Copies of this chain bind each other. A is one copy, B any other.
Amino acid sequence: MMAEILEQPHALERTFNAEHKHAERFSRFARGKFRLIVLVARGTSDNAAIFGRYLLELTTGIPVSMAAPSVHTLYHAKLDLRDALVIGVSQSGAGTDINMVLESSRKRGAYTIGITNEAKSPMAGLVDDVFLVRAGRQKSVAATKTYTGQLMLFYLIACALGRECRLAEIGAIPEHARAALGTVDQIRALVERYRYMRQCAVVARGLNFANAVEFSLKLMETCYVVAERFSAADFLHGPIAMVEPNFPVLMFMPPGRTFASQSQLVRRLHGLRAETLVITPEDAKIPAATRAIRVPGSIPEIYSPIPYIIPSQIFAALLAEAKGIDPDRPRSLRIVTKTV
């Protein structure tokens, strides 16, 4: 897992370099063509799709729906998908249900894209167009480099469909990712504090909400922590009642539109004597947080999700080590899970 975390800057560069011209070609075909985007995925790929949802709505103005696969696979709904772009996301390209949704969507009039690591996968064979994550083979059961690679491809697809495209800034993301790897010493110094943590909440908002869901998944599958995930607003609509003194709340606090409300939440949790661990810029003032992981450099919010997930991946890998768990072989799991 740690080896694959460290590969990410290179993998992101490879994906960007190999796919940005593809995105330009796709743009000529696709711009103005779609009225709806549907994203379909499971597990970590579904978390990447949550990011895609925010990014695509913000930059293209096209409404996005996160598919519920069972609507297609169990109930065989006949959705009207004319003028729709359906994007399937799967590391292996072998997810049975995801491929069933892509197939039935094509029949119902949708144009389909696959985001996958595997050029020869069933998914790659059945979609209209494939965007390939060039992360190399994933060996750890805990997905890391494929998640950030999927995010990179969402940037390129958003570029292709959107009102403006800042390719140079997307091309700079691998550099931000490299800098974020520098948080490893900070994290090593604080991770033992969480050696006996059995439950927690992970909270973020907006463009980084996907990261909260992904961090909680990593904590569940590699550290066996019962880690709940919430958008900050949803957290206030009920779940905050479960917070008692010392309850750990892990938070993404990148710069930008969500920072002020996240700061308010930190103060409120401080008032409840909860433990807060925040992932935040090196120069941000967070007086009431219990612990902070400081991400170096100045990164605009829209490009923060890739560099900000990295400290949480490192945290999960090192916490697993501290707990004596092998994060590459979580109990009860395999790399490819097939569900219908």
Q: Mark A218-246, 1 if CB is under 8 A from B, else 0.
A: 00111011111001111011111111100
Q: Is the interface of A mostly helix, strand, loop or mixed?
A: mixed
Please determine whether A238 and B77 come into contact, CB atoms closer than 8 angstroms: no
CB distance from A213 to the nearest CB of B (A): 10
Q: Mark A188-223, 1 if CB is under 8 A from B, else 0.
A: 000000000011010001100100000001001110
Q: State the copy count for this chain.
A: 2
User: Residue on B with the closest CB to A256?
Assistant: B74
Please determine whether A42 and B80 come into contact, CB atoms closer than 8 angstroms: no
Choose one: B224, B227, B240, B340; the contact of A332 (CB below 8 Å): B240
Choose one: B58, B63, B234, B257; the contact of A43 (CB below 8 Å): B234
Interface size (A, Cβ < 8 Å)?
70
Please determine whether B58 and A77 come into contact, CB atoms closer than 8 angstroms: yes
In chain A between 37 and 90, which residues have their CB closer than 8 angstroms to a CB of chain B?
38, 42-44, 46, 53-54, 57-58, 61-66, 68-71, 74-75, 77-81, 83-84
Given contacts A42-B233, A44-B237, A54-B68, 15 further A-B pairs with CB under 8 A are A43-B238, A54-B75, A58-B75, A62-B79, A69-B233, A70-B257, A74-B205, A222-B241, A224-B244, A237-B337, A240-B332, A241-B330, A243-B332, A261-B339, A272-B332
